[in-house]
């Protein structure tokens, strides 16, 4: 079994440049260290960090050649803006291998000291001292340290960032906990807070434009997120927060309190339980921010076309003798016009994160609030009847949604987690979370009436209230049987949702895609009492065992989850139960990872996804028959290789998802239909060279309809599934002006069918983004100025045909922000 590793709590991502401190002569360094010690600074909590420190800081570019350690330390201090103090007797005659490339400060300093008899100790903010390394095999006691196994990471241990800082080396794998990417027998990517900040991402969709296996259903300004992963829809309702379904915002998630956005591709019912709304193409998990080792006081001012201004405050502190208590607070206010005509959005958001760590106990708690009001949002446009051509996309800046339409969502959500080490090998864990969602809207769900751009809708007022409570509890541990190592998890989960809704409509209105009519706001009366329409209860019990041999070079994951689904529908007028669904399913999974070499991992998996089964409609020969949960099945093989600064994943997968229909001959309703998606994916991330970062890849998917009703669409391509998708994002730290970084991104999405009969198709589209950021100091404060132009060519295009509805891509959009660490 691997030896435990020492890991320190992650830090916030500071701006990428700080005021340089002049290098110190050897004697001055020794005097400085003595003064620091005499002043009591050295008596504060210090942290010794090893070569693989896993710091979550922003990365800087270094170009320090090998040579005398004294010279290298001076150059490093000037480049990183830190003070490095050392007794000259320790550094005399010692040579450094130097450091070249992009590193966080601690990682870069550890690289500079690689192979020397010295190690660095943090003395305070931006100050370090050198001391002799302990004898090999000696133990060092660290404050605020959690001892964990490399595979059985606890909930509070954040995997370190990968080269370039845009992604991480691992992330949460459902009930298995945090796993290193090379150890996981699945395809996964974790996008960091550094990427979120540098790309000025506002919602999850702004982050996932970097992922070639994912496409957004809605563009910026829709007030809602929805995704297509491996050809299947993933609703924002099914996004998890800190590993829990039902604890994240229902429509769109502000990212002010988010440290990472984790993407797992493919069905995952065994790992995460059944998604409440049945998404099967993958999962998205939001990891909340935690206070870092150093105080944080960051203010960000932002601007988005066409006049939306915002302010974001990010504060972090740790308290206690061993920094055991952490507090992270984020608050945001933004308001103003968006690029589409008449569109406007106001957002107030707040995030509070607490964590407490002792030797055996770890506690976390998060409380979040969002109030989002969006006018004239860019929503779905339903296509005309099959066979009628889809007209060209309208002007993206011109808006066919009236300015009196709106979405208003007010919600509180959060999660509390606890872990307790029963012994060095066994840990008990529990979590509880929830969401209180209040929603009201006045909207026009437009329908295309023909191929010339004429559209019609029935304006609708809607009120909703959704209350969710979710929880889990379990135990995980490790043991050996002979030559086999075991990592076992037993987990129970629950999910309860109550949905209340009231709807009222007016008469039909008409308009035009290319010349929207000036429509008067309809007067639609709606009551104040919201009747209960449905109650959903999900219960599950899961058991997993990861068996390892040959020093973990072979890892076999086995497991199964027993999932129960209970859904009751209610008559809104009488309040009586009108429908009842109660079924269960056993969903197994198996995955294997083989490492022929430390940097190469070959993997394969079989795993399933679950969705609520249908009920045969009235008029069918088997009317009222309740079907068990639909089971989507994935088989996948792949390879991952870590080149040191670049990691690549190549995978091939097949997902089969059942579909239902009424046989016209027998009038029997069945779930014998099928959609089969087969695909290849190549994902790359990291640094091509020092200061040159790469993120992107390509996906090829063949989505075929099988066993359709009367065979009418057998062999056709499934709607909303482009065959080819590609992304490429580059960042270059220019040598001409230190602190200046240029960015570029290109997206390609192939053509996609709108209908199952394949008579309607949207053309392929390309989008190009350009940007720059400049990190500098002003009045001794670290400052980062960022600017991005999305859709530089201002292209008008149909973005997506997901759920058989069309959405328009956003027009050219300018984003600006200024971040200052006070």
Boundaries of every domain in the chain: 5-143, 296-821
Residue 11 is predicted with a pLDDT of 35
Residue 220 is predicted with a pLDDT of 81
Run of H or E residues at 137: none
Indicate the average pLDDT of the chain: 88
Least-confidence region, from 17-26, 111-120, 302-311, 687-696 = 17-26
pLDDT band at residue 20 using 50, 70 and 90 as cut-offs: very low
Is a pLDDT exceeding 90 seen at residue 111?
A: no
* CB-based contacts of 566, cutoff 8 Å, min separation 6: 536, 537, 538, 539, 581, 582
Rounded distance, CA 532 to CA 584, Å?
Answer: 24
Run of H or E residues at 542: strand 532-549
Backbone φ/ψ region at 770: left (φ over 0), alpha (ψ -120 to 50), beta:
beta
Residue 155 is predicted with a pLDDT of 52
Least-confidence region, from 130-134, 279-283, 501-505, 607-611 = 130-134
Is a pLDDT exceeding 80 seen at residue 3?
A: no
SS3 annotation, 566-612: EEEEECCCCCCEEEEEEEEEEEEEEEEEEEEECCEEEEEEEEEEEEC
> For residues 159 and 169, is the Cβ–Cβ distance under 8 A?
yes
pLDDT band at residue 84 using 50, 70 and 90 as cut-offs: confident
Strand-pair partners of 586: 562
Rounded distance, CA 580 to CA 586, Å?
Answer: 21
Residue 125 is predicted with a pLDDT of 63
What pTM, to 2 d.p., does this model score? 0.82
Residue 30 is predicted with a pLDDT of 39
pLDDT in tens, 318-353: 999 999 999 999 999 999 999 999 999 999 999 999
pLDDT-above-90 percentage for the chain = 74
For 5-143, give the CATH class. Answer: alpha beta
Rounded distance, CA 637 to CA 649, Å?
Answer: 11
pLDDT in tens, 202-215: 999 999 999 999 99
Same fold for the pair 5-143 and 296-821: no
Rounded distance, CA 109 to CA 72, Å?
Answer: 10
Rounded distance, CA 394 to CA 454, Å?
Answer: 12
DSSP letter assigned to residue 237 = G
Most confidently modeled range among 36-50, 690-704, 803-817: 690-704
pLDDT band at residue 787 using 50, 70 and 90 as cut-offs: very high
User: 762 or 90: which carries more pLDDT confidence?
Assistant: 762
pLDDT band at residue 774 using 50, 70 and 90 as cut-offs: very high
Residue 98 is predicted with a pLDDT of 82
pLDDT in tens, 166-198: 999 999 999 999 999 999 999 999 999 999 999
pLDDT band at residue 27 using 50, 70 and 90 as cut-offs: very low
Strand-pair partners of 466: 437, 499
Is a pLDDT exceeding 70 seen at residue 552?
A: yes
Residue 682 is predicted with a pLDDT of 98
> For residues 397 and 515, is the Cβ–Cβ distance under 8 A?
no
Mean pLDDT of 501-524: 96
**Which one, of 800, 806, 730, 796, lies nearest residue 767 by Cα?**
796
Is a pLDDT exceeding 70 seen at residue 726?
A: yes
Rounded distance, CA 290 to CA 73, Å?
Answer: 31
pLDDT band at residue 149 using 50, 70 and 90 as cut-offs: very low
Mean pLDDT of 105-125: 84
Residue 140 is predicted with a pLDDT of 39
Least-confidence region, from 87-101, 424-438, 664-678 = 87-101
Is a pLDDT exceeding 60 seen at residue 459?
A: yes
DSSP of 631-668:
EEEEEEEEEEEE-SSEEEEEEEEEEEEEEEEE-TTT--
Is a pLDDT exceeding 80 seen at residue 777?
A: yes
Mean pLDDT of 123-149: 56
Rounded distance, CA 258 to CA 285, Å?
Answer: 10
What superfamily in CATH does domain 296-821 come from?
TonB-dependent receptor, beta-barrel domain (2.40.170.20)
> For residues 6 and 142, is the Cβ–Cβ distance under 8 A?
yes
pLDDT band at residue 767 using 50, 70 and 90 as cut-offs: very high
* Cα dist from 669 to 372, 563, 583, 620, whole Å: 42, 24, 18, 6
Backbone φ/ψ region at 794: left (φ over 0), alpha (ψ -120 to 50), beta:
left
* Cα dist from 425 to 1, 360, 543, 548, 782, whole Å: 12, 11, 17, 16, 43
Name all contacts of 35-43 with Cβ < 8 Å and 24+ positions apart.
Answer: 36/85, 36/123, 36/124, 36/127, 36/129, 41/123, 41/124, 41/127, 42/123, 42/129
- Joined tokens for residue 216: 């957004």
Is a pLDDT exceeding 90 seen at residue 53?
A: no
Geometric angle at alpha carbon 159, from 155 and 163, rounded to 5°: 165
Least-confidence region, from 43-47, 226-230, 741-745 = 43-47
Task: Say what angle helices 69-80 and 105-112 make with each other, to 10 degrees.
Answer: 170
């Amino acid at each position: 079994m691997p030896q435990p590793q020492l890991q320190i709590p992650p830090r916030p991502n500071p701006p990428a440049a700080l005021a340089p401190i002049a290098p110190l002569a050897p004697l001055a360094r020794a005097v400085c260290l003595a003064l620091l010690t005499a002043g009591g600074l050295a008596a504060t909590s210090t942290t010794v960090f090893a070569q693989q420190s896993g710091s979550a800081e922003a990365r800087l570019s270094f170009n320090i050649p090998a040579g005398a350690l004294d010279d290298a330390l001076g150059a490093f201090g000037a480049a990183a803006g830190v003070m490095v103090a050392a007794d000259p007797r320790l550094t005399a005659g010692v040579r450094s291998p130097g450091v070249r490339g992009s590193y966080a400060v601690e990682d870069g300093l550890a690289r500079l000291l690689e192979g020397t008899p010295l190690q660095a100790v943090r003395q305070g903010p931006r100050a370090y001292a050198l001391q002799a390394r302990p004898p090999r095999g000696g133990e060092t006691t660290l404050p605020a340290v959690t001892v964990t196994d490399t595979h059985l990471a606890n909930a509070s241990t954040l995997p370190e960032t990968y080269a370039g800082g845009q992604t991480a080396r691992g992330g949460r794998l459902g009930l298995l906990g945090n796993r290193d990417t090379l150890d996981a027998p699945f395809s996964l990517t974790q996008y960091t807070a550094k990427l979120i900040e540098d790309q000025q991402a506002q919602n999850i969709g702004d982050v996932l434009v970097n992922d070639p296996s994912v496409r957004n259903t809605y563009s910026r300004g829709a007030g809602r997120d929805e995704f297509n992963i491996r050809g299947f829809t993933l609703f924002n309702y099914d996004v998890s927060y800190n590993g829990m379904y039902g604890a994240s915002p229902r429509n769109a998630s502000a990212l002010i309190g988010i440290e990472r956005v984790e993407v797992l591709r493919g069905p995952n019912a065994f790992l995460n339980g059944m998604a409440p709304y049945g998404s099967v193409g993958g999962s998205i998990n939001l990891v909340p921010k935690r206070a870092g080792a150093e105080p944080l006081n960051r203010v960000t001012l932002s601007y988005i076309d066409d006049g939306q201004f915002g302010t974001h405050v990010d504060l972090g502190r740790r308290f206690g003798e061993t920094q055991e208590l952490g507090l992270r607070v984020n608050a945001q206010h933004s308001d103003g016009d968006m690029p589409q005509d008449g569109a406007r959005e106001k957002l107030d958001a707040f995030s509070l994160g607490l964590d407490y760590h002792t030797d055996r106990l770890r506690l976390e708690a998060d409380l979040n609030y969002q109030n989002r009001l969006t006018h004239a949002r860019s929503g779905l446009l339903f296509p005309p009847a099959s066979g009628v051509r889809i007209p060209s996309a309208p002007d993206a800046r011109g808006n066919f949604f009236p300015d009196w339409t709106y979405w208003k969502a007010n919600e509180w959500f959060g999660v509390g987690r606890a872990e307790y080490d029963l012994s060095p090998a066994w840990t008990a864990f529990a979590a509880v979370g929830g969401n209180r969602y209040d929603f009201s809207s006045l909207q026009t769900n437009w329908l295309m009436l023909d191929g010339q751009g004429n559209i019609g809708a029935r304006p609708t007022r809607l009120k909703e209230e959704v209350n969710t409570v979710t929880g889990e509890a379990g135990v995980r541990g490790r043991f050996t049987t002979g030559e086999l190592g075991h990592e076992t998890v037993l987990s129970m989960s629950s999910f309860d949702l109550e949905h209340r809704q009231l709807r009222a409509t007016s008469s039909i209105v008409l308009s035009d895609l290319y010349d929207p009519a000036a429509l008067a706001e309809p007067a639609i009366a709606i009551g104040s009492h919201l009747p209960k329409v449905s109650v959903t209860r999900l219960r599950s019990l899961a058991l997993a065992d990861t068996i390892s041999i040959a020093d973990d070079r072979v890892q076999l994951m086995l497991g199964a989850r027993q999932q129960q689904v209970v859904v009751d529908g209610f008559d809104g007028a009488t309040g009586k139960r009108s429908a009842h669904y109660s079924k269960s399913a056993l969903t197994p999974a198996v995955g294997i990872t083989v490492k022929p070499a430390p940097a190469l991992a070959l993997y394969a998996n079989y795993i399933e996804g679950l969705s609520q089964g249908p009920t045969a409609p009235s008029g069918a020969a088997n009317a009222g028959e309740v079907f068990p949960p639909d089971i989507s099945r994935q088989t996948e093989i792949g390879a991952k290789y870590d080149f040191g600064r670049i990691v690549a994943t190549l995978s091939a997968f097949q997902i089969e998802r059942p579909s239902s229909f009424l046989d016209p001959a027998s009038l029997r309703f069945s779930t014998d239909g099928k959609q089969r998606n087969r695909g290849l994916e190549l994902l790359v991330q990291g640094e091509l060279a020092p200061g040159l970062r790469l993120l992107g890849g390509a996906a090829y998917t063949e989505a075929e309809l099988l066993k359709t009703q009367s065979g009418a669409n057998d062999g056709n391509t499934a709607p909303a599934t482009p065959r080819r998708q590609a992304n490429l994002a580059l960042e270059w730290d220019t040598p001409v002006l230190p602190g200046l970084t240029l960015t570029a991104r290109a997206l390609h999405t192939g053509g996609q069918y709108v209908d199952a009969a394949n008579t309607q198709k949207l053309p392929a589209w390309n989008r190009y983004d350009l940007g720059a950021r400049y990190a500098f100091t002003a009045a001794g404060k670290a400052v980062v100025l960022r600017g991005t132009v999305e859709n530089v060519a201002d292209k008008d295009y149909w973005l997506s045909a997901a759920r058989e509805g069309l959405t328009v891509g956003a027009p050219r959009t300018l984003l600006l922000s200024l971040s200052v660490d006070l």
